[in-house]
């Protein structure tokens, strides 16, 4: 939109667009209330212009919270950046109520600066940058208590008012489920002229309670015509550092992600172990891809398949 929407904005697709009480005095009221003008959110053009030098976008999705989606996002970004030093990567944290990326990427306490081109994302490495609402909060303990329209307005600002520059891949860490944030970001990022520039990776854990929600996420992508690169099964097994034996902390009683992928015709990208070293690295913001262990070995195959899907 040409201006931030009011807090209780009904949304441009609503029958009440431009007519509700919250619309009174809004600069966009005439646009939203005119049926000939409200066919498409004006913000979409602003996003397209801002992201014109971003070649590809990758949604990191999960049907359920607690499966390690944000951790997987940071691991993929770190490994891709290390494996492809001549490519540029960006991370956009659109989990508005639970922004984890500043801590995971070792950027707690960093500030976002304003330039003539918009907000400047925080530099993580030479070829990695990050934007998160976590950088705009006074304290890491501050709660975001917003309704859907205000969250959607923030997402639009992140997409249209951040100076992303030239990126080969922008990874978007999304909240769990299929809610307002997902519909908003898909609306802004889908490009009918380049339908394959937006893709998705789905993260799950092996147990059926997680797979049930992941099936919903996969169906969401199918309904929105978003190509799915594949599924990553996180925390698939645990190898004890003392005895060396492997255990299934989350038993895959129905065959896990592999069986679900075969059933739904979705590629299986690979499995990541439940790794205490990863947990420690995430808490301290350290790049674990610098060392060689079972996690980085698994990431090698997963990241190769992701990059191949964009070629």
**pLDDT tens track for 107-121:** 998 989 888 888 999
Task: Encode pLDDT of 245-259 as tens digits.
Answer: 778 888 888 899 999
H helices within the chain, ranges in order? 29-33, 43-50, 69-83, 101-104, 148-160, 180-189, 208-223, 256-264, 276-284, 294-309
Q: Are residues 45 and 32 in the same domain?
A: no
Domain that holds residue 2: 1-39
Q: Are residues 138 and 14 in the same domain?
A: no
- pTM given for the model: 0.86
> What was the pLDDT predicted at 14?
65
CATH number of the domain encompassing residue 97: 3.40.50.300
Task: Encode pLDDT of 188-199 as tens digits.
Answer: 998 867 778 999
Q: Are residues 77 and 204 in the same domain?
A: yes
Q: Are residues 116 and 161 in the same domain?
A: yes
Biggest CA-to-CA distance, the chain: 69
Structure tokens at 55: 């070649």
Q: Are residues 10 and 133 in the same domain?
A: no
Segment holding 60, helix H or strand E: strand 57-61
Q: What is the DSSP letter of 54?
A: B
Q: Are residues 121 and 198 in the same domain?
A: yes
Mean pLDDT is lowest, of 3-12, 117-126, 221-230, 232-241, for: 3-12
Q: Are residues 11 and 66 in the same domain?
A: no
Q: How many domains does the chain have?
A: 2
Quick one: what percent of the chain has pLDDT higher than 70? 91
Going by pLDDT thresholds of 50, 70 and 90, the confidence category of residue 13 is low
Going by pLDDT thresholds of 50, 70 and 90, the confidence category of residue 1 is very low
Q: Are residues 8 and 125 in the same domain?
A: no
Task: Encode pLDDT of 260-273 as tens digits.
Answer: 999 999 999 999 99
Mean pLDDT (whole number) for 56-84:
95
With helix as H, strand as E and coil as C, how does 196-263 read?
Answer: HHEEEEEEECCCHHHHHHHHHHHHHHHHCCCCEEEEEECCCCEECCCCCCEECCCCCCCCHHHHHHHH
Q: What is the DSSP letter of 22?
A: G
pLDDT exceeds cutoff 80 at 32: no
> What was the pLDDT predicted at 306?
95
> What was the pLDDT predicted at 8?
64
Q: Are residues 2 and 60 in the same domain?
A: no
Q: Are residues 47 and 30 in the same domain?
A: no
* CA–CA distance, 159 with 44 (Å, rounded to integer): 9
> What was the pLDDT predicted at 2?
45
Mean pLDDT (whole number) for 147-152:
86
Q: Mean pLDDT across the chain, nearest whole number? A: 88
Q: Are residues 163 and 15 in the same domain?
A: no
* CA–CA distance, 88 with 115 (Å, rounded to integer): 20
Q: Are residues 33 and 114 in the same domain?
A: no
Q: Is 269 helix (H, G, I), strand (E, B) or coil?
A: strand
* CA–CA distance, 299 with 228 (Å, rounded to integer): 18
> What was the pLDDT predicted at 158?
95
């Amino acid at each position: 939109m040409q201006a931030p929407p009011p807090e209780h904005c009904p949304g441009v697709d609503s029958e009440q667009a431009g007519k509700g009480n919250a619309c009174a005095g809004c600069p966009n009221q005439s646009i939203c209330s005119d049926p000939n003008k409200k066919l498409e959110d004006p913000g979409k053009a602003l996003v397209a212009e801002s992201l014109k030098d971003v070649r590809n976008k990758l949604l990191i999705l999960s049907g359920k919270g607690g499966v390690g989606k944000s951790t997987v996002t940071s691991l993929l970004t770190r490994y891709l950046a290390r494996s492809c030093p001549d490519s540029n990567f960006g991370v956009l944290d659109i989990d508005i109520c639970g922004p984890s990326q500043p801590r995971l990427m070792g950027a707690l306490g960093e500030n976002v600066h304003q330039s003539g081109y918009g907000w400047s994302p925080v530099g993580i490495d030479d070829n990695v940058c990050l934007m998160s609402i976590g950088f705009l909060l006074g304290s890491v303990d501050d709660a975001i208590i917003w309704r859907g329209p205000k969250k959607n307005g923030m997402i639009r600002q992140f997409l249209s008012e951040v100076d992303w520059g030239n990126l080969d891949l922008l990874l978007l860490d999304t909240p769990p489920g299929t809610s307002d944030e997902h519909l908003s970001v898909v609306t802004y990022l889908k490009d009918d002229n380049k339908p394959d520039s937006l893709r998705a990776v789905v993260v799950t854990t092996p147990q059926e309670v997680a797979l049930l929600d992941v099936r919903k996420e996969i169906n969401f992508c199918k309904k929105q015509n978003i190509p799915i690169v594949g599924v990553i099964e996180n925390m698939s097994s645990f190898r004890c550092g003392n005895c060396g034996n492997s255990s299934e902390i989350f038993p895959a009683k129905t065959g896990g992600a592999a069986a679900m992928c075969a059933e739904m015709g979705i590629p299986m990208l690979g499995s990541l172990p439940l790794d205490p070293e990863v947990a420690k690295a995430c808490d301290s913001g350290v790049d674990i891809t610098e060392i060689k262990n079972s996690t980085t070995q698994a990431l090698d195959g997963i990241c190769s398949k992701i990059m191949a899907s964009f070629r």
